[in-house]
Amino acid sequence: MPSPQPPTLRQPRAVQAVRFARGQKRFFEKAAHLGDTFQVNFQRRRWNMITHPDAVKEVFTTSPEVLHAGKGNDILATALGEHSVLILDEAEHLRHRKLLLPSFHGEKLAAQVETIERIAEREVERIPRNEAFAIRDYTQTIALEVILEIVMGTESTGEEHDFLAEQAKGLLEWIGGPYRLIPPGILGPRHRLVKRMYEPKLAPLDEALFRLIAERRQEPDLEEREDMLSMLLTARDEEGNPMSDAEVRDEIVTLVVAGHETSATALAWAFERLAHTEGSTEALHHSVADGDDDYVTSLIQETLRLRPVLDVVVRVVNEPVEIAGYSFEPGEVVVPCIHLVHRREDIYPDALEFRPSRWKDTKPGTYTWIPFGGGVRRCIGASFAMAEMEIVIKAVASAGVLEPVGGDEKVVQKFITSSPARGGELRFA
Ligand code: HEM
C-alpha cells in the first residue's frame, strides 16, 4: 500500500516562502533531513521534492500524459508565449518538439561549431590582461551572440541584428531583475496586470521578430538556410502543416531565453570553479596543449553537477500516479531536485568537493546526473550547450592562465538560474 503523504516541513508557508526567497539551495538542503522524498510548502501548491535516483527515474519515465512539465513551467508563459515548447504538454508539446528537433541534429551541430568558435575567439580577445574582470560579462555576450546568429540567422554586423540583440538582452535583464516572477507566480501569467507589466518590454522585441519572420519568409534561399528560424519556417508537422507566425515567435523567444542565460551561467561557474580549485588550471592547460578533450568534458560535467544552473524541474500531476511509494493526485506537484541529487554522498563520495577527475572513465548516469532534466522533456539544447561550453573553455585556456580574485563565490538567484555572486571574478596571469 502506498503511503498517503511524504514527510512535510512543519513551518508556516510565509516563513518557508521567505527562506526560499533568501536562498533556495540552502532551503532545500535544510529540509533534506526529512528523507529522500519530502514536502515543502512555500507556494500555492506544495512541492513534493524527489531526491533519490530511483524516484527520479520513475518521474522521467512516467507518461507525459500523467505528469505535465508544461504546467510546471507556466510561470514563464507571459514572456515565452502560449505556443512555447516549454509551456505546452502532451500532443501539442510533441508536435512542437518534433518541429524543433531537426535544428539540433548532430550534423547541424557540426556546422554550428565554426560560428561558436569565431564568436568565442572574438570575445576572448576583448578580455583585459592583468586586471580583474567578471567572466560572466563575456560568457553572456558570447552566449547571446551565438544564440542570435544560430537561431535567427542575422549577421552580427547588421543593424537588424544589433536591434534584436539589444531588445533580447533588455528583456532578459529585465526578467532577471528581482521580483519579476512574483506577480505571475501570485496572479498567474495570464492576468491582465501581469500582461500590462510585461508589455513594454515585449512589444519592441515582438515587433522586430514579426518583421524578421515576414522578411525571412520572402528570402529566395529560405529552404537552404541553416539557421533555426528558417528551419522552423520550412518545417511541416505530420499533417503537413507549417507553424504559424505566432508559434514561430514563441519558439524563437524560448530558444533565446532557454539557451542564453543557462549557457552563460554554466560557463561562468566552470571558470570560477576552475580558478579556485588547486591543480585544475594546470590540468586544463596540459590537456588543451595535448589536444585531449577528456579533461574539458570532465570539467563541464563536474561544473554542471556541483553548480547546476537550475536546481529543480517541475512536473504537475495530471492523472493519479504513484512515485517513490507515495500516491499523488491531479494538481499535486512533484519536483526532481537536481541540486540535492547531485550532492548525494552515496552517488558522489565527497560530494561537496569540486573534482573533475571523478569523471575520468565514468559516464554520467541518466538519473544521477540531471542538469538537463530528463525523459521526453530533457533539454533539447543539451548537446549544443555542452559543445558551446567546450569551445569557449578551450578559447579562454588558449588565451592565458586564469587566476582567482578573492575567495569562493556565493550563489545568487538570477531569474531562474543560480549564478556566481561576483560574476566569476578572475584575472589573466
Ligand atoms: C548549460 C546550459 C543549459 C542547461 C543547464 C539547460 C537546462 C535545461 C533544463 C533543466 C530543462 C528542463 C528539462 C526538464 O523539464 O526535464 C531544459 C529544457 C529546455 N532547454 Fe535547456 N539548458 C541549457 C541550454 C539550452 C540551450 C543552449 C537551448 C537551446 C538553444 C536550450 C533549450 C531548451 C528547451 C527548448 C527546453 C524545453 C524542452 C521541452 O520542454 O521539451 N537549453 N533545459
- Please, which pLDDT band fits residue 1 given cuts at 50, 70 and 90? low
Q: How far is CA 258 from the centre of its chain?
A: 5
* 366-413 per-position pLDDT tens digit: 999 999 999 999 999 999 999 999 999 999 998 888 999 999 999 887
Would you call 427 helix, strand, or coil by DSSP?
Answer: strand
Question: Cα(427) to centroid of ligand 1, in Å?
Answer: 30
Q: Is 358 a domain residue?
A: yes
In a domain, 2, yes or no: no
Closest CA relative to residue 339, chosen from 411, 270, 393: 411
What's the CATH code of the domain at 48? Answer: 1.10.630.10
Domain limits at 241?
13-428
Residue nearest to atom 27 of ligand 1 (CA): 259
Q: Whose CA is nearest to atom 11 of ligand 1?
A: 379
Distance 226 CA to ligand 1 centre (A): 21
Q: Which tens digit of pLDDT belongs to each residue from 68-102?
A: 999 999 989 999 999 999 999 999 999 999 999 99
Is 6 domain-assigned?
Answer: no
Nearest CA to ligand 1 atom 17: 379
Give residue 405 CA to ligand 1 midpoint distance, Å: 31
Residue 3, domain member (yes or no): no
Cα–Cα distance, 398 to 392 (Å, whole number)? 10
How many angstroms is it from 258 CA to the middle of ligand 1? 6
Please give the number of the atom of ligand 1 that sits closest to the Cα of 338.
Answer: 10
Whether residue 135 is contained in a domain is answered as yes
- Ligand 1 atom at shortest distance from the alpha carbon of 254: 35
* Domain membership flag for residue 8: no
What is the count of structural domains for the chain? 1
Tell me, what's the pLDDT at 171? 85
Task: Give the per-residue pLDDT at 117.
Answer: 95
Crossing angle (nearest 10°) for helices 13-22 and 24-31: 130
**pLDDT band per the 50, 70, 90 thresholds, residue 2:** low
Distance 262 CA to ligand 1 centre (A): 8
What pTM did the predictor assign? 0.95
Cα dihedral 58, 263, 248, 200 sign: positive
Could you tell me the distance, in angstroms and rounded to a whole number, from the CA of residue 117 to the centre of ligand 1? 21
160 occurs within a structural domain: yes
Give 175-196 pLDDT, tens digit per residue.
877 677 778 878 889 999 999 9
Ligand 1 site: residues with CB under 6 angstroms?
69, 85-86, 97, 254-255, 258-259, 262-263, 266, 309-310, 313, 371-374, 377-381, 384-385
177 in any annotated domain:
yes
Pocket test of ligand 1: the residue of 152, 372, 417 to mutate, having most ligand atoms within 8 Å of its CB, is 372
Q: Is the pLDDT at 166 greater than 70, yes or no?
A: yes
What grid cell was written down for 109?
551541430
